[in-house]
């Protein structure tokens, strides 16, 4: 919890600073003056009424915690999406963006997307995109495996091991097999991963 609060606080301060210095010099100066005046008044009120200080601190901690939690989930989702790209490459030298798009469409996700949208998301994750790469005999826009692994420390997911027990026990919520279903949200480079059980239908 403390880590999320610290992380969220840093993100909130970063967003505030970005807003504060955005725009022209005159606009920035106006914001600085407004923030200084508001801070002066608010500081006086908090010192005069200590309960307000604790309420303000509590509200900040809640906002910072939620921001930190959202950042953790976004980071985990991005890593899962990159892993999905790595698995699409397999033992080849890379993958074409058209293949990634087809993979998304096969899962009935983002049917209105085109290769440009996929490229924006991939590049948003810091992965270089080549304008021309040959993969499995086809030449088009894609990602080379070396470029991917140079940016992200990701390895090909190993195949599942063989099951020696031919008479498994009863299926429970703890041992029911699952497969990852990738859901990409086109808001910047935000990505979410929704787990799904095998046999789920769309």
**Closest C-alpha to 180, from 103, 110, 84, 100:** 84
Cα separation, 89 vs 27, whole angstroms: 48
Query: What would the pLDDT profile of 119-167 be if each residue is shown by its tens digit?
Result: 999 999 999 999 999 999 999 999 999 999 999 998 988 877 655 554 4
Query: What would the pLDDT profile of 15-59 be if each residue is shown by its tens digit?
Result: 777 767 776 776 767 777 676 777 666 766 666 666 776 777 788
pTM, entire model: 0.63
In angstroms, how far is CA 12 from the centroid of its own chain?
Answer: 17
In angstroms, how far is CA 195 from the centroid of its own chain?
Answer: 15
Structure token digits, residue 201: 């239908």
């Amino acid at each position: 919890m403390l880590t999320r609060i610290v992380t969220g606080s840093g993100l909130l301060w970063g967003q505030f600073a970005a807003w504060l210095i955005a725009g022209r010099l005159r606009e920035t100066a106006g914001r600085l003056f407004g923030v200084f005046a508001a801070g002066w008044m608010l500081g006086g009120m908090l010192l005069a009424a200590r309960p307000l200080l604790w309420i303000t601190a509590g509200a900040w901690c809640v906002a910072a915690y939620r921001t930190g939690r959202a950042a953790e989930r976004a980071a985990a989702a991005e890593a899962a999406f990159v892993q999905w790209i790595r698995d699409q490459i397999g033992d080849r030298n890379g993958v074409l963006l058209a293949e990634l798009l087809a993979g998304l469409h096969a899962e009935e996700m983002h049917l209105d997307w085109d290769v440009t949208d996929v490229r924006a998301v991939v590049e948003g994750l810091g992965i270089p995109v080549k304008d021309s790469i040959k993969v499995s005999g086809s030449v088009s826009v894609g990602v080379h495996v070396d470029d991917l692994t140079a940016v992200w420390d990701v390895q090909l997911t190993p195949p599942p091991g063989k099951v020696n027990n031919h008479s498994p026990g009863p299926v429970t919520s703890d041992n029911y097999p699952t497969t990852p279903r990738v859901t990409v949200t086109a808001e910047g480079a935000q990505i979410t991963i929704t787990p799904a059980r095998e046999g789920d239908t769309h």
